Amino acid sequence: MAEITATMVKELRERTGVGMMECRKALVEADGNMDGAIKYLRERGISKAEAKSLRETKEGIIYSYIHFNGKIGVMIELNCESDFVARTDEFKALAEEIAMQIAATNPLALTADAIPAEIIEREKEIAKNKAINEGKKPEFMDKIIEGNVRKYCSEHALMEQTLFSDEKKTVKDLLTDSIAKTGENIQIARFVRFALGE
């Protein structure tokens, strides 16, 4: 049985647009073979979301969520392809789930790429100094720093975050599932989080 690494899962995810858990499962089924895993996903119709994710989204809703204590508020623009999908209860429920995620986690950016470079550099420096203080070997330094930055991005980039409502899925997985269910491309266009006194 081939070892399924995080790098393999990431590559399959980038190539198919499919969620992390589904990618891992496909790689396990294909015994680590990338083409076999892609075939596995295509046969199950899971990677259809990839093609849909390129389609234009001009409809949608602006959704606002105020936390029960009135001290945290979120506004999100969630886009889709048709007004029909935008008006469904499922679409509003999706917007609410994402807004609640933002209220709970206060992400810095939508994606890891959108986190400012100076913040990433600061995190690299912190990881490096921590590794030196812990007496880690120099040959492991790059991997340690990379792992720490990846972890930081998974906590602070909305699309990478684990859902607080389902720890087996990320926000990206949630969107991918919704794309598969609705048959339409769905995108988070922007969001803003307000906290009293900030």
- CA–CA dist 121, 49 (Å, integer): 33
Residues ≥6 apart with Cβ < 8 Å to 197? none
Does pTM surpass 0.75?
no
pLDDT at 150: 87
pLDDT at 49: 55
* Domains along the chain with CATH numbers: 6-52 (1.10.8.10), 59-111+157-195 (3.30.479.20), 116-155 (1.10.286)
- CA–CA dist 105, 118 (Å, integer): 21
Amino acid, single-letter form, for residue 22: E
Average pLDDT rounded to a whole number, residues 158-187: 88
- Report which of residues 138 and 40 the model is more confident about: 40
pLDDT at 55: 65
pLDDT at 194: 94
Average pLDDT, the chain: 86
- Would you say residue 52 has pLDDT above 60? no
Q: For the packed helices 141-156 and 117-133, what is the interaxial angle rounded to 10 degrees?
A: 130
pLDDT at 71: 92
- Would you say residue 149 has pLDDT above 90? no
* SS3 of the chain: helix, strand, coil, percent, to 5: 55, 15, 30
- Report which of residues 13 and 152 the model is more confident about: 152
